[in-house]
Every structure is written in C-alpha cells, then in structure tokens.
Chain A
Amino acid sequence: MSLKFRHFKEDTRKLFASAKLWDYHLKQVEGNFGSGVHSYFTFLRGLFLLSIPSFILSFSFISIPQLLDPPARNHPEVKFTGEELITGANWFTETIMYYGYYTNGTIQTIPGSVYKMPLAYLLATAGYFLLCLLWLVKSTATSFRKNYIEAKEDESDFISKVFCAWDFGITSDDASKLQHTMISTELKEILAEKRRHKESRSSAKKCKVFLYRLVTWMLYLGITGGCMALVYFVNKELLNKIKIWGNIGYQISLALIISAINLVMPIFINLMTHWEDYKYPRHEMYIAVFRNFLLKLGMLAVICAFWTDGNLKSTHTNQTASCWETDLGQEIYRLVIIDFLFTIIFATFCAEFIRKLLTKCIPSLKLAEFSIVNNVMDLIYGQTLCWIGIYFSPLLSLIIIVKYFLVFYIKKVSVMQNCRMSTQRWRAAQSQTLFNAFLLLSFLLCAAFLCVVVFLETPSYDCGPYRGLNRSYDAIIIEFQRLASDESSYWFAVIMNVISSVWFLYSIVVVLSTAVVLVRSRSIGYRKFAKALREQIALEGQDKALLLQWL
C-alpha cells in the first residue's frame, strides 16, 4: 500500500516538475529538426507554465469567493446556447467570466470573515503581473548575458562555422545528412564570397537603396494607419449591433477582420522588406518581424483606446446598463478564439498539411519548412492578448491554458508529419534574446495600458467591483484611509504613508541610477583591461618568435 503511494507521489512530482513537462516530445523534435524548432517548443512550454499561476491566482482569489455569493442577474431569461463559446457574449456576459459580474461589496458567506472583492480583484491581478515581470526580466537578463556577445558584423567568421556548426543534439539519419550538406554548402559559399572580394556599393546604388527604403517605410506606415482606421470605423459602425445579444454575425466580424489582416498583411510586409535589399539577411528578418509586430499591436491599441474612450461610457443618467469593461473583455475573448482557429486552420492545416498532400501530386514542390520566427511571433501576440484581457476577464487564463495545451500537440504532430528541416542554420543565441526582448516589450505595453485603466479611467457606473468610484484605484485609497483611522493597524498606515510619499520614491530612483552608472563604468573598465591584455599576448607571441629565431 505504501509502495503504491510512493509511486503515486513520484508520478505526480514527475508531472509537476516544471522543467520536465513534455520532455519526450521536445527530445523527439530536437532530434529530427535541430535546435531551432526545439527552441520554439521550449518557448511555448514556458508560456504555458507561466499561465498556470495566473489561473490559480485569479480563480482562487477572485472567482471562487464570488461563486459563494452570486449576485442577481439582470437578464435571467437568457439561456445558454452553443454560440457563446465563440462570441463570449449572451449567457457568458453575466457569469464569473467577466469583470461586470463581480460585486463591489464584501462577501460574508463564511460567518465572521469579511472578504472585500474590489481589493481582492486588484491585488490578485497585480500579483500576477508582478510575477510575470520578475520571470520575464530574469529570463531576458540571463539570455542577454549568456548570448549577447559582441560578435563581428561580418557574418563569415570561420571559427564559429567549423567548431560550432555541428548540432550535437541531432539524432535522426536524414537530419544528419542534411546537416552535412548544409555545413559544406555554407563553407563553400563563404569561400566564394571571399574570392569575389565583395564590392562595396557605389554611391548611385546607395542613393537608389535609400529611396527604396523611404518609399517602403511610407508604404508601411500607410498600410498600418489604414488598418488601424479600418478597425476603428468597423468598431464604431458595429457598436450598437454588437450590444444586441444573439447577433453572432456582427459580434465576431471585428475579430474575423483583425485575424484576416494578421494573416495576410505579413506576407506583403515580408515581400516589401525583401525588396529593400538589406546587406545581411538577419537585418531583413529583424525589420520584417518588427514591422509585423507593430501592425498587430497598433490594431490592438485601437480597440483598447476605442473602448476606454470617454464618449462611450455610460453616465449614471443613461438607463441601459452598459459595461465597457465587459465589452472589451468579450472582444479580447473573441480575438483569442478566432486567432486560435485561424492558426489551426490556415497556418497549420492549409500551409503544412495540404502542402504535404500537394507534394504527392506536384513533384517539384517540397514540404514546408517550419517557420520558427512567424510561429514565435504568433505566440507572443497570443500572450499579449492574454495580458490585456486578464484584468477584464479573469477566466481568460483558463482559456489560454487550454489553447496552449492544444497548440503544443497540434503543432508537434504537424511538424513531425508535414515539415522538413530548414536549410539555413539557426542562430539560436541572438534569436532567443530577440524573442525574450519582444515578449518583455509587449508585457510592458500591456502593463502600461492597465495602469492607465486602473489609475486614470473611470470605471462603469453600474457594473463591476469599482462601480460608483471615480477611479479603480480609489478602492485601495479608501482601504488605506480606513486602516489609518483604525487603532490596531496604526503602524501599517505609517509605513504605507512613508512608502507612497514622493521623497521615498525619489531616493529609490537616485540610488538605482547611481548603481547603473557605477556598473556601467566598471564594465567599460573591464573592456579596456581585456583589450590591453590581448595586446600584451600578441606582443609576447612576437617576442617568442623572435627568441626562437635567435636560437
């Protein structure tokens, strides 16, 4: 009996040991496709594990207490039909799914305890964001420190090609044959380039390239502006129709438009960037990725700005219950679902599976390569949606967990069956840093947006945990004032007063800036020292050669 229990404990520990989840699948992918595709799946696993504490925090601190004391519904006649799963509206609107359902009072179902919902809502979300910030900063810092080495701009350095080219993780025969061909082709190419003595561009060509780039930037800004305006106008037109419950077509149309743009525009942007004729393919990739990212964020920003705009919020004279936070939460929910469906249907099913079927008919067409960059940027976009939506829809984290789980298995099956190994060597180090940096950037933007919502925006008058207040943050301030006036928590109030005063923050900023300056000057000193030592070694080598000559 105790042996069985020990086995069970071991198995559950194996299941929850965070770094070991899906280990077998990762190894299979790495063995067949190398470290590049493997890094995509590791990234996915990292995001999946990050969503789990989010769900635990929001469900246990926010949703469960509310379930114990459900408030009365305004529209009890609406029943659950299947379409809520896509639109997120109708019956879902007045459940723990969205911000609007939560009470602004206290929950006292357990006698003797007082559970303040407004505080809990804000603190749980803040706790999750703090956790994410710590994890992201730590992972970006470690990858930057490990991988960012001041590599020479000239990409053809032989040492790294000879000694670091062979990916030791490969275990399949086909992959290893491909690696051999890849390495020898690369070496031959570099030799040919050196022999050609790559000519520097003439000034006429430089002028032409400059004009091209100007035109493409203008074009890109025009396209982005156009898409953002389109989103704005569609949203405005459909505003009233979205609010009518049961209107599934209008409700999902905005999400469909945005996901379609996200699918089609990157193709044009990649083409445009290719025409710009950059000297290094790596720069081309960075710029294309940055532009795609900016486009997606731009459209998201329009939606967020639209719903937090002052004109649309209900004032207390308006009779129809209008809850802009719930509406924004529903929009995000729809975006998440439709984005997931589009990824599965188009990116995976069409691009990879159907192409595999086509290769049987058309012999010259080869299997698709798994595009690591595009897939990682899709993941980052999905995670951005989750971060924005988590404040407005606490159960979104559950949806995201299920989504990541399904995406992992679907992508893995698709990769193993339908893709071939990439013919270009994957520079893991710099790409890893880039992806971490993008993730951190989008996290900071989401956090900034939520700070604006919490500290500056007026919450809806008749729904949610902050109804009737001027700002959501007022709930915390009221609590502090209550604690300050209460005799038993006097010291707590004093400490909070000190921490929130201006002088304390100012002194922290000064201390941190001084620390940064000191560390930077130390690193400059080390670099100079290393350079001097290198010169010394060269000199000693010359001395040695000279001495050997004399003997």
Chain B
Amino acid sequence: ECTYFTMKEIKRLYKRFMELSLLYYSPTELKKMSRPTLPPHIIATMAELKVNPFADRIIHVFSDDVNGCMTFEGFLNMFSVFNEQAPRDVKAFYAFRIYDFDGDQYLEHGDLLRTLERITRRSLKDEEAELIITKVLEEAEMDDDMKISFMEFEHVLSRAPDFLSTFHIRV
C-alpha cells in the first residue's frame, strides 16, 4: 500500500525474492513457511547490492529481526525507498539510519569515520580523514554539540541537489 511500485513491479520483486529463497531453503521447506525470511548473506548476493559498500548497513536497517533476516515486506520496503519516486524526506530518513553505525540517533565522529572508510576503501590517510570529519561537522552543525542529529542531516541534504539521483537503485 505504501510502496512506490506498481502491481507488476511488486510481482517481479516477489519473484526475485522467491528465487533468492530457493538458494537457501529447499522447495519443501519453503512451501511450509507462511512468511519466509532470508538471512543477510543471501540478500547480499543480489547484483544491486553486491558491490555496494553499505550493503550490510542497508540490509540491517530494513531487516525485521535481530539476526538481520528480512521478510518480503522488508525486502519490498528496501527497494521502494531506493525507488526514484520516493520523496526526499523518506530517503533522508533511511540514509540517516544507514550511516548511523552505532544506532544512537546521532552521527558522531565514529560514524563519520566509518562512512568515510567505506566509501574510500581506506585510501585516505588518518589526518586527512580527521580534517574531512571536522569540516563536515563544521558545515552541518547548528547547535554546537559536535554530532549531527536527524534534523541537521535532513537540513543539510536539502542543500545537496544530487542526493536524490545518487540514492537510487533501479531494480
């Protein structure tokens, strides 16, 4: 109901979900399960997520239980947020949770450092990374607490026009 997909696309996604399930479960097991869940390492084999450095964070954010297993609703939700029709605030909300590695509703030094490492594959020197993190905090900060809350993050993204086009997976 709340996705940005058409009926046809939802059916196509369901087919892909079923194909992935068959990699993990046997067909008889699958028939018995009413709501199959997929473990994260199976979802990470999808072509769209395989080369993404944030694949594990994405799966974690959209998964339904502590182990990181995802039902079909979570699967659908994940791709509908990355759909090009999803509005900016929805994408910003989930982007914040993806970049928030320790899950404390703030993007602090540690979260930013790990984000940087992921996107540059550790090719930056330590002092360069520190400098970048300081600059980011300077630019985003509005209330001087050295961490980025969701409000500040959303405000900052409203000034970055490319966010909508890069935060987009075509499925």
B47 close to A (CB within 8 Å)? yes
Stretch binding the partner chain, chosen from B13-21, B25-33, B65-73, B127-135? B127-135
From the candidates B50, B139, B161, B166, name the one contacting A159 in the complex (CB within 8 A).
B139
Q: How far is the CA of A273 from the CA of B48 in the complex (A)?
A: 40
**Looking across the interface, which residue of chain A has its beta carbon closest to that of B6?**
A17
A541 touches B144 (CB 8 A): yes
- Roughly how many angstroms separate A14 CA and B8 CA in the complex, as a whole number? 9
Q: Which residues of chain A come closer than 8 Å to B163, judged between CB atoms?
A: 160, 163-164
* C-alpha spacing A194/B128, complex, angstroms: 12
Are B160 and A537 touching (Cβ within 8 A)?
A: no
Proximity string of chain B (114-129) to chain A, C-beta cutoff 8 Å, 1 when within and 0 when not: 0110011101100010
CA distance A157 to B78 in the complex (A): 29
Q: In the bound complex, do residue B164 and residue A146 qualify as a contact, i.e. CB atoms below 8 Å apart? A: yes
Q: Is the CB of A429 within 8 A of B124?
A: no
Q: Is the CB of A157 within 8 A of B139?
A: yes
What is the chain A residue whose CB lies nearest that of B156?
A159
**Distance in Å: Cβ of B35 to nearest Cβ of chain A:** 27
Residues of A within 8 A of B121 (CB): 180, 184
Q: Is A187 an interface residue (CB 8 A)?
A: yes
| Bound-state Cα–Cα, A172 to B161, Å | 25
Interface code A145-189, partner B: CB below 8 Å = 1, 0 otherwise? 011111110000111101111111111110110001101100110
Complex Cα spacing A157 to B157, Å: 12
Whether B139 lies near A169 (C-beta < 8 A) is: no
- Return chain B residues, CB-CB under 8 Å to A166: 52-54, 119, 166
B143 A149 Cβ-Cβ under 8 A:
no
A545 with B144: CB separation less than 8 A: yes
Chain A window 11-44, contacts with chain B (Cβ cutoff 8 Å), 1 for yes, 0 for no: 0001000000000001100110001000100000
A534-B119 contact given A147-B161, A168-B166, CB 8 Å threshold? no
- Cβ-neighbour of A158 out of B120, B139, B145 (below 8 A): B139
> A542 on the interface (CB 8 Å rule)?
yes
A507, chain B: closest CB distance, angstroms? 38
Contact present for A180 and B123 (CB under 8 Å): yes
Q: Point out the residues of chain B lying under 8 angstroms from A183, CB to CB.
A: 119-120
Contact of B165 among A149, A173, A428 (CB under 8 A): A428
Closest chain B residue, CB of each to CB of A14? B8
Does B4 make an interface contact (CB < 8 A)?
A: no
Residues in B with CB closer than 8 Å to A27 are 170
Q: In the assembly, what is the distance between CA of A147 and CA of B131, in Å?
A: 29
A544 interfacial contact with B, CB 8 Å: yes
Could you tell me the distance in whole angstroms from the C-beta of B90 to the nearest C-beta in chain A?
Answer: 14
Point out the residues of chain A lying under 8 angstroms from B99, CB to CB. Answer: 163
A360 at the interface (CB under 8 A from B): no
Residues of A within 8 Å of B165, CB to CB, are 35, 39, 428-429
Contact (A35, B166) CB under 8 Å given A149-B161, A171-B51: yes
A359 within 8 A of B: no
- Are the CB atoms of A164 and B170 closer together than 8 Å? no
Tell whether, in the assembled complex, residue A26 and residue B116 are in contact, meaning their CB atoms are under 8 Å apart.
Answer: no
Given contacts A162-B136, A187-B132, contact A534 B164 (CB under 8 A): no
Nearest-Cβ distance from residue A402 to partner chain B, whole angstroms: 27
Q: Are A171 and B162 in contact (CB under 8 A)?
A: no
- A543 to nearest B CB, angstroms? 9
- DSSP majority for the A interface? helix
Given A168-B167, A180-B123, also A544-B158 (CB < 8 A): no
Cross-chain contact B157 with A163 (CB below 8 angstroms): yes
B95 neighbours in A (Cβ, 8 Å):
163
Q: Does B61 contact A (CB under 8 A)?
A: no
- Give every chain B residue within 8 A of A518 (Cβ-Cβ): none
Question: A residues 481-535 with Cβ under 8 Å of B?
Answer: 534
Within 8 A of B (CB), among A169-228: 169-173, 175-176, 180-181, 183-184, 187-188, 191, 194
Bound-state Cα–Cα, A357 to B54, Å: 37
Q: In this complex, what residue of B is CB-closest to A187?
A: B132
Q: Report the count of interface residues on A (CB-CB < 8 A).
A: 52
Min Cβ gap B120→A in Å is 4
CB-CB under 8 A from B140, the residues of chain A are 159
| A83 beta carbon closer than 8 Å to chain B | no
Which of A158, A165, A538, A542 contacts B135, CB < 8 Å? A158
Could you say which of A146, A158, A159, A430 has the most chain B C-beta atoms within 10 Å of its C-beta? A159
CB-defined contacts of A164 to chain B, threshold 8 Å: 157, 160, 162-163, 166-167
A157 to B135 alpha-carbon distance, docked (Å): 9
On whether the beta carbons of B119 and A168 are closer than 8 Å, the reply is no
B98 to chain A, nearest CB (A): 10
Closest to B128 in A: A191
**B161 cross-chain contacts in A, Cβ below 8 A:** 146-149, 151, 427, 429-430
Contact, CB under 8 Å: A541 / B143: yes
Give the complex CA separation of A129 and B28 in angstroms: 59
> Taking the complex as formed, is B38 at the interface, i.e. its CB lies under 8 A from any CB of chain A?
no
A39 surroundings in chain B (CB, below 8 A)? 165
Find out whether the CB atom of B144 lies under 8 angstroms from the CB atom of A159.
Answer: no
Given A149-B159, A172-B51, answer yes or no on A162-B169 (Cβ-Cβ < 8 Å). Answer: no
Q: Is B75 an interface residue (CB 8 A)?
A: no
Q: Which of B120, B131, B166, B170 contacts A26 (CB 8 A)?
A: B170
Whether B142 lies near A537 (C-beta < 8 A) is yes
Q: Is the C-beta of B43 less than 8 angstroms from some C-beta in chain A?
A: no
Contact partner of A184 (CB less than 8 A), chosen from B53, B124, B135, is B124
Name the B residues within 8 Å of A428 (CB-CB).
162, 165-166
A–B Cβ pairs within 8 angstroms, 12 of them: A157-B159, A159-B139, A159-B157, A162-B112, A162-B132, A166-B119, A171-B50, A184-B124, A188-B128, A194-B135, A427-B161, A537-B143
The list of the 3 closest CB pairs from A to B, nearest first, reads A541-B143, A429-B161, A176-B51
